[in-house]
Chain A
Amino acid sequence: MKNMNLYSRGDKLFVYINMALIAVFAISALYPFIYITAMSLSSGFAARAGTVVLSPVDLTLAAYERVMSDPAFWNSYKNTFIYTFGGTFTSLLLVIPGAYALSRPNLWGRRFWNLMVAFTMWFHAGMIPFWLNIRDLGLLDSYFGIIIAFAVNAFNIILLRNFFESIPDSFQEAARMDGANEFQILWKVFVPLSKPAIATITLFCIVARWNGFFWAMVLLTDEGKIPLQVYLRHTISALSDDEEFSSTLLSAPYSVETVTAAIIVCSIIPVLLIYPWVQKYFNKGIMLGGVKE
């Protein structure tokens, strides 16, 4: 099938047009990133004048200097790391044993517990009761609140549970006869056997945590605890509204746009760094996520 010589002329034309269209798609997916990078490296004046299209105009690091000189930026970066790693770790700590238990046929009430988990995918109390609950639990404005309140989601549990269920019973039975208890079976047999699935949910968690914005904005009022995404949001709106900032624009070597772009680049870089791993596993994950129930 892969031999081009077998193709008719019409087919070859079809293949080339198709490739060209795909290339257009890919470029349009990539272009905004190129544009933003170019913008972040351009001078405020060039940006204001609308001359930045593909590559930096009047190459300067002024925007980055301004971003990095703000201690709040570094603080929010640190917070994002705390939420990402703390959150992912907590998720795994809850989800792995939970999914294992839900996959065991000898768990009494298994259908009930599974339904209890799955039901939350279909019905959610909504924003207000959720927020009131967090408030009543005293978890507003706390690192722990953000980490714990979003530690589990039904999708990840079901994904991992399905994977565990696909492992033949005999592995578990063999380990049981070898004298392993449930914790040992989980840790020494199921976890190593489920590396792809666990990697998948780990990456899902990391990406979700890194990108998480809305609830962090709503639940955190203390500027010292906000993650990068919220900082980015605040900065963008602050810059846009800031009269003083606008009035200094002519003299400043950066503009609203270049600074925004610089923060964006700074916050995308970690995502790009783990993207190869994400790429490797999410394909699988999507398929594992043939979530039943």
Chain B
Amino acid sequence: MSGVFLEQIVKRYGAIEVVHGIDLEIDPKEFVVLVGPSGCGKSTTLRMIAGLEEISDGTLRIGDRVMNRVAPKDRDVAMVFQNYALYPHLNVAENMAFGLRIRKVPKDEIAKSIDEVAKILGLTEYLERRPADLSGGQRQRVAMGRAIVRHPEVFLFDEPLSNLDAKLRTQMRAEIKRLHNRLGVTSVYVTHDQVEAMTLADRIVVMCDGRIEQIGTPMELFNNPANVFVAGFIGSPPMNQFEARLEDSDAGPIAHANGTIIQLHGQEALRGSAGREVIVGIRPEHVMLTAEEGTAEIPISLDLIETLGSEALLHTHVGDQPFVAKVETHGEIGHLQGVNALHVKPERVKLFDKESGRALGQAA
């Protein structure tokens, strides 16, 4: 398996630059997810790797070959499209065989590959059917099968699950993950859905406006977002963010937000930054209902409780800023009614520079 290396990749349409010099190294066998809001350049980047879009500037290597000018078919990559692009006039077997036939692979070899792949994907009994007669999940599988039979060096996925309903999406997500574990092919996966990114990726690349905001494992991004954008994008519900000013107190640094004071014990590195304007970020999941030793208290006014089952979302206000908390219910929500304060461990409180949006302290 080959790795994929992007060096200062740029994409321009005429005078408009949509991808601004991206650097990314994808290791062999790695599953990397490009995630970001629509229009962030993630699909364009993927299509440049595929060879469907010309690379305006920079270098793309797959393995040790520079691919900038290599035709898509010679890059040894396979792609799964958002709408699957299954040929409606061909049945499942013919769809999967299409690429092999074009490449003049011997017939018996094609048959063998298709058999094998159909078995892996559970499509054996559908080989004679046309795409129109398949369910969404089956079509999705055929689309993957078509990529797999070619034994490419790299798989590219362009939002492959966005046409499926929520339940099927979860199921197919797991299937893609299993498949990757089994085949171990280097994969680049594009999605705008951060849940997909979190569940599938070895490493996630968060993109915005044609730039990479952060690269890291799902947990790295969750725990230590490099900036406000990543903090807001990864995690659901998103991280609570509000503006505050750092101050010193006897007990340690505090963040002063519109009348609310949040203790930042332990973040001693911040001593001396008094007066600095920051954005405070607290994950809804990191909030506790009861105080523990050293926790900071956040006084809140409760607006609404959304029950999810084992968890509940508390929609609250801190001062005049909305604040969402995700807490465990333990099977009932009665005790949540009167809550007027939440607690958070100081080390869970993330601080970002107000100007640049970059993380302060250890996460920097």
Binding site for B on A (CB under 8 A): 168, 170-171, 173-180, 184, 188-189, 192-193, 195
Contact = CB atoms under 8 A, between A and B. Distances in A.
Contacts of A168: 83, 85
A160 B310 CA distance: 57
Interface in B8-58: 50-52
Interface residues on B, range: 20 to 34
A176 B81 CA distance: 13
A22 B167 CA distance: 53
Interface in B67-115: 72-73, 77-79, 81-85, 87-89, 98-99, 102-103
Contacts, number: 57
Interface pairs A-B: 7 shortest CB-CB: A178-B99, A179-B73, A170-B85, A174-B85, A192-B89, A170-B81, A179-B102
Given A179-B73, A192-B87, A192-B89, A174 B81 contact: yes
Contact of B88 (A175, A176, A179, A193): A193
Interface string B145-177: 010001000000000000000000000000000
Chain A contact surface mostly? helix
Contacts of B83: 168, 170
A171 B51 CA distance: 15
Contact of B98 (A170, A178, A195): A178
Contact of A179 (B82, B87, B103): B103
Nearest to A174: B85
B87 A177 contact: no
B85 A173 contact: yes
A173 B82 CA distance: 12
Contacts of A171: 85, 87
Contacts of A180: 73, 98, 102
B163 to A, nearest CB: 12
Given A176-B52, A176-B73, A177-B73, A184 B85 contact: no
A117 B293 CA distance: 80
Nearest to B84: A170
A175 B83 CA distance: 14
A171 B85 CA distance: 5
Chain B contact surface mostly? loop
B102 A177 contact: no
B72 A177 contact: yes
A178 B85 CA distance: 12
26 contacts: A168-B83, A170-B81, A170-B82, A170-B84, A171-B87, A173-B52, A173-B72, A173-B85, A174-B79, A175-B98, A175-B102, A176-B72, A177-B79, A178-B73, A178-B102, A178-B103, A178-B146, A178-B150, A179-B99, A179-B103, A180-B73, A180-B102, A184-B102, A188-B98, A189-B87, A193-B89
Given A178-B99, A178-B150, 13 more contacts: A168-B85, A173-B85, A174-B79, A177-B51, A177-B52, A177-B72, A177-B73, A178-B98, A178-B102, A179-B99, A180-B73, A180-B98, A195-B89
Contacts of A193: 87-89
A117 B327 CA distance: 66
A170 B84 CA distance: 8
Contacts of A189: 87
Contact of A173 (B81, B84, B99): B81
Nearest to B152: A177
Contacts of B78: 177
A177 B77 contact: yes
A180 B50 CA distance: 14
A174 B99 CA distance: 9
Contacts of B85: 168, 170-171, 173-174
Contacts of A195: 89
Nearest to A175: B98
A177 B87 CA distance: 14
Contacts of B146: 174, 178
Nearest to B52: A173
A176 B71 CA distance: 9
Interface centre among B73, B82, B150 (most CB of A within 10 A): B73
Interface centre among B79, B88, B150 (most CB of A within 10 A): B79
Contacts of B87: 171, 189, 192-193
Contacts of B150: 178
Nearest to A173: B52
A175 B78 CA distance: 11
A177 B99 CA distance: 8
Nearest to A195: B89
A28 to B, nearest CB: 42
A195 B50 CA distance: 29
Contacts of B98: 175, 178, 180, 188
Contacts of A177: 50-52, 72-73, 77-79, 99
A177 B52 CA distance: 8
B58 to A, nearest CB: 21
Contacts of B51: 177
A184 B103 CA distance: 11
B54 to A, nearest CB: 9
Contacts of A179: 73, 99, 102-103
